Amino acid sequence: MQRFVKALAVAAGLMLSAAAFAQGQKPMSIVTGTTGGVYFPLGGGLAQILQKQMGINANVEATAGSVENLFRIGKGQADIGFSQTDAAWDAVNGLDKFTGGKLPLRALMVLYPNTMHVVTIEGSGIKTVADLRGKRVSTGAVNSATEVFAFRVLRAAGLDPDKDIKRERLSPAESTRAIRDRQLDAYFFVGGVPTPAITDLAATPGIKINLIDFADLLDSMVKVSGPIYVPITTPAKSYPGQDRDTRAIAVWNVLFVREDMPAEMAYNLTRTIYNNRAELAAVHPEGRNIDLKWQQNAAAVIPFHPGSVKFWQSQGAKVK
C-alpha cells in the first residue's frame, strides 16, 4: 500500500510539473545537431515523448551541434540540449571555445558513445590520419563538437589543422555531397552509428567508403585532454560496403539543461525520458544504448542536475 501511495505521489508531481511548464509562454526548445547526424532524429523522438507523457510542446531545432547547443542553453536561449562530454567539459570550465566564461550547465543523463568517423573512399590514397596532409578535408561544421574532436585527432597525428590540410567546415550531409562530386578527399564526423549521411555516402553506386583506423592516437589525446576519450570499434557492416571492423575513438554524449532549471522539472524529465527510452530506440538504434550503468559522474564528465541526481539514486546509480 505504501508503494502504491508513493507511486501516486510521484505521478501527481510529474503531472503538476508538466502542467506548469505547459502553461508557460513558449514551448520547450530542444537543440540538437545537423540533419545528417543522430542528435536531430533523437531530438524528434524526445519531443514526441514529452508531448505524449508530460503534455509539453517542444520545438526541435537543427543546429551545428554541441558547441552551439552549449552556448545557447548557457545563455537561456534553449531548454534541453545534446552534447559530447568533451565540449561540455570545456563549457563548464571555461576552456577552449568557452574562454569567455564558465557556462551554468548540468547533465540530465548520459546517452551513448559518439564515434569519431574519419571518412574517405577507395582510390583517395588515404589510409591513416597522417595521410591527410595536403588533402581537402572537412573538420565539421562551425561550432560543432566534431571540429573540437577533429582538431585533437589531427594534432595527435602531428598535423596542424590550419596549415597541413586544405580545411573545409562542412556538415556531414555537405561533406557527403562534396566527396561524391570529388571536391573533398575526406571528412571527420563524430556521431552515433550508423550516421545517416555516412550511410548515404556508402550506399552511393560506384563508391566504396573507407573508414580510417586511428585508435593508435588515443594515448596522445588522453595526455593532452585527459581521460575524456575512449577506444571503440565500429563493427563491419555498420555501413554498406564496410567489410572490416574499424578501430576508432569515441566520446560520451549527454543530455543537458541549465543549472537553474527547477529540480522537480529536471527529475520529471529524466524519469520520463529514461522510462520511455524504447521510443528513442525506435527512432535510432543508439537509443538502445541509454543504460543505467553509464549514469556515473565519470561518464557524464560534467555534474548532474540535483533533480537528476535524485532520480538516478532512486534507481541505484552512484551519482552525486
pLDDT digits (tens, 9 = 90+) for 33-75: 988 889 999 999 999 999 999 999 999 999 999 999 999 999 9
Quick one: pLDDT band at residue 145, thresholds 50, 70, 90? confident
Query: Per-residue pLDDT for 15 more than 80?
Result: no
Q: Where are the alpha helices (DSSP H) in the chain?
A: 2-22, 39-49, 66-74, 85-93, 145-156, 172-180, 196-202, 218-225, 263-275, 277-283, 297-300, 306-314
pLDDT at residue 17, rounded to an integer: 45
Cα atoms in the 13 Å half-sphere on the side-chain side of 55 = 11
Higher-confidence position of 126 and 10: 126
Count CB atoms within 10 A of the CB of residue 288.
13
Closest-CA residue to 230 (of 155, 180, 294, 273): 294
Return the pLDDT at 299: 84
pLDDT at 11: 41
Percent of the chain residues topping a pLDDT of 90: 80
Name which residue leads in pLDDT, 79 or 11: 79
Mean pLDDT of 294-314: 92
DSSP-derived letter for residue 132 is G
Q: Is the pLDDT of residue 2 over 60?
A: no
Residues 75-129 have pLDDT tens digits of: 999 999 999 999 999 999 999 899 999 999 999 999 998 899 999 999 999 999 9
What does the pLDDT look like over 220-233, one tens digit per residue? 999 988 778 989 99
Whether the pLDDT of residue 14 is over 60: the answer is no
Q: In the predicted model, what is the mean pLDDT of residues 164-178?
A: 96
Closest CA to 66 of 177, 190, 170, 152: 190
Query: Does the global pTM surpass 0.75?
Result: yes
Residue 5 has what pLDDT?
36
Residue found under cell 527510452: 277
Structural domains of the chain, ranges and CATH numbers in brackets: 2-111+254-314 (3.40.190.10), 114-251 (3.40.190.10)
pLDDT given for residue 24 in this prediction = 52
Average pLDDT, the chain: 91
pLDDT, position 225: 83
Task: Kindly write down the DSSP assignment for every residue of 35-70, as one continuous string.
Answer: TTSSHHHHHHHHHHHIIIII---EEEE--S-HHHHH
C-alpha cell at 112: 551513448
The residue-averaged pLDDT of 270-276 equals: 97
